[in-house]
Amino acid sequence: MVKKFLLTFLFIFLFVGCIRSPANDEYDKRYREFIKKREKIRYGIELRVLRKALELYPQFKQEGLSENFDLGKFREMSRRDSLNTMEYLPAFFMIMEIEDSLKTPTGVRYLDKKYNPKVILIVKTGLGIE
């Protein structure tokens, strides 16, 4: 009984589950694009971009907030790491705004009105702010 179940499961998994059609691929592509658009509408930014920007934020903050910030140098570094700088710059400024606004009670009220609570929570945990 168990052997028959395992063989049936193996057959379904190997032969049916692995067959992909171009229609399925097109559907998956459209669904991923829909999810990205929905995240942008709901949160104001793609969460994937925000999480990656949080990883790069300490480096950006160290180089970007100095007096002699060179955007060309930052772009060169980004290209070396195969990153699209223009994708992350809005996220960096969003993170800076949230980080600065969390320092005061009026800033927290401002953030509650402007950003989705999930975005604020992601930034707070990413920066280690309680």
Q: Tell me the mean pLDDT in the region 58-80.
A: 68
pLDDT tens for 71-114 read 666 667 666 666 666 778 888 889 989 999 999 999 999 998 99
Residue 78 · residue 53 · CB < 8 Å: no
Claim: this prediction has a pTM higher than 0.85: no
Pairwise CA distance, residues 130 & 93, whole Å: 20
pLDDT at 82: 63
Q: Tell me the mean pLDDT in the region 21-33.
A: 85
pLDDT at 105: 92
